[in-house]
Amino acid sequence: MSDGAVARALVLEAPRSLVVRQYRIPPIGEDDALVRVEACGLCGTDHEQYTGELAGGFAFVPGHETVGTIAAIGPTAAQRWGVSVGDRVAVEVFQSCRGCANCLGGEYRRCLRHGLADMYGFIPVDREPGLWGGYAEYQYLAPDSMVLPVAGDLSPEVATLFNPLGAGIRWGVTVPETKPGDVVAVLGPGIRGLCAAAAAKEAGAGFVMVTGFGPRDAERLALAAQFGADLAVDVAIDDPVAALTKQTGGLADVVVDVTAKAPAAFAQAIALARPAGTVVVAGTRGLGSGAPGFSPDNVVLKELRVLGALGVDTTAYQIALDLLMSRRYPFVSLPRRCVRLEDAEDLLATMAGEREGVPPIHGVLTP
């Protein structure tokens, strides 16, 4: 790549203020790399960044679900990640120093050097070279990046599902230790909810229920059966506890709450769990939102195991990529909207509920 080459990037300067800027493409040394972005998935975090609900250090290039091809790479980085120029890769959001106690223990989302401060899609552009997110033509990869090879016959748009499917695997199976035969209830039929349902079914769950709320979730609930759900319930119409009990004769061994901005869902998750069951909370409601209808006594009396889940790890991401390649679930045909840099704001505003139309289940930026 010639000296002086530039890349366009979409910069979030303030809430609801996205602008296209140009950044110099940096020279690549022994230990870093440059990815030509082919696709970047959008999730709830993206539109919460856009609206300012998720506070960030403006200005920055968003995008933390990047898939692209290696445009340049140093020899040390190539050996570490096992990739070469031209290879398609998925870029994890977290970085790992690979040396601190947390990284050595596999919990690199708590890396003592990087932690949450160095997540891709969150790093301010005043830190050189500025290309720290997937809303750009090129993304810079620092030496401590976590990079996964992606099979060439998996399209970049579908490959971005490595992130939500990895989340579904970790939150729906790994964290709660879901076992064959378990009854699993997934609250929230968005992309991560559908992925959690598929992951639970892959783990051998005997029965999977997915819940949603109202017309906005109707299309998603209609798709749930294709992703492993045995029952889909609109909680605006039916009582999910009664519906699950009718179908299974009891409550859920595992409840996975991936709802967004749904404070009442936590009490529902507690109600759906059997005595000595497990509840995984991965959806956020906003700090200070509370949990209407929740009584801590129910956790005590039912002796529940309530676990928070933040982020994903390489193991889950790799399983996700393998599952996408298997094509056992129709991830390719998910209702999907792909946009260029110039149209990203409309998609984000639609996902945030600030524009007309039902948000797509899967939003993708293709710079």
**Residue range 63-86, pLDDT digits in tens:** 999 999 999 999 999 999 999 999
Query: Quick one: pLDDT at residue 203?
Result: 98
**Average per-residue pLDDT for the chain:** 95
Query: Quick one: pLDDT at residue 261?
Result: 77
The arithmetic mean of pLDDT across residues 140-147, rounded, is 98
- The model's confidence at residue 292, banded by pLDDT at 50, 70 and 90, is confident
Residue 299 to residue 111: CA distance in whole angstroms: 31
CB contact set of 38 (below 8 Å; sequence gap of 6+): 67, 68, 69, 88, 156, 366
Taking alpha carbons only, the member of 348, 178, 354 closest to residue 277 is 178
pLDDT at 285 over 70: no
Query: Quick one: pLDDT at residue 207?
Result: 99
pLDDT at 307 over 90: yes
Query: Quick one: pLDDT at residue 1?
Result: 63
pLDDT at 303 over 80: yes
pLDDT tens-digit map of 336-360: 999 999 999 999 999 998 998 888 9
Query: Quick one: pLDDT at residue 255?
Result: 99
CB contact set of 357 (below 8 Å; sequence gap of 6+): 350
Query: Quick one: pLDDT at residue 262?
Result: 82
Contact between 210 and 224 under an 8 Å Cβ cutoff? The reply is yes
pLDDT tens-digit map of 89-103: 999 999 999 999 999
Query: Quick one: pLDDT at residue 286?
Result: 65
Domains annotated for the chain, with CATH where assigned, are 6-161+334-365 (3.90.180.10), 166-308 (3.40.50.720)
The arithmetic mean of pLDDT across residues 42-46, rounded, is 93
Taking alpha carbons only, the member of 192, 137, 138 closest to residue 169 is 192
- The model's confidence at residue 2, banded by pLDDT at 50, 70 and 90, is low
Residue 230 to residue 251: CA distance in whole angstroms: 14
Handedness of CA 324, 326, 329, 335 (dihedral sign): positive
pTM score of the predicted model: 0.95
Q: Cα dist. 360→43, 109, 188, 232, 323 in Å?
A: 10, 29, 15, 19, 22
% of the chain residues with pLDDT over 70 = 98
State the burial class of residue 356 (Cβ atoms within 10 Å of its Cβ: 0-12, 13-18, 19+).
exposed
Q: Cα dist. 231→43, 242, 271, 334 in Å?
A: 25, 12, 17, 19
The arithmetic mean of pLDDT across residues 37-58, rounded, is 91
Residue 206 to residue 201: CA distance in whole angstroms: 7
The arithmetic mean of pLDDT across residues 324-335, rounded, is 96
According to DSSP, the residues that pair with 209 across neighbouring strands are 185, 231
Contact between 136 and 21 under an 8 Å Cβ cutoff? The reply is no
Residue 4 to residue 22: CA distance in whole angstroms: 11
Query: Quick one: pLDDT at residue 357?
Result: 82
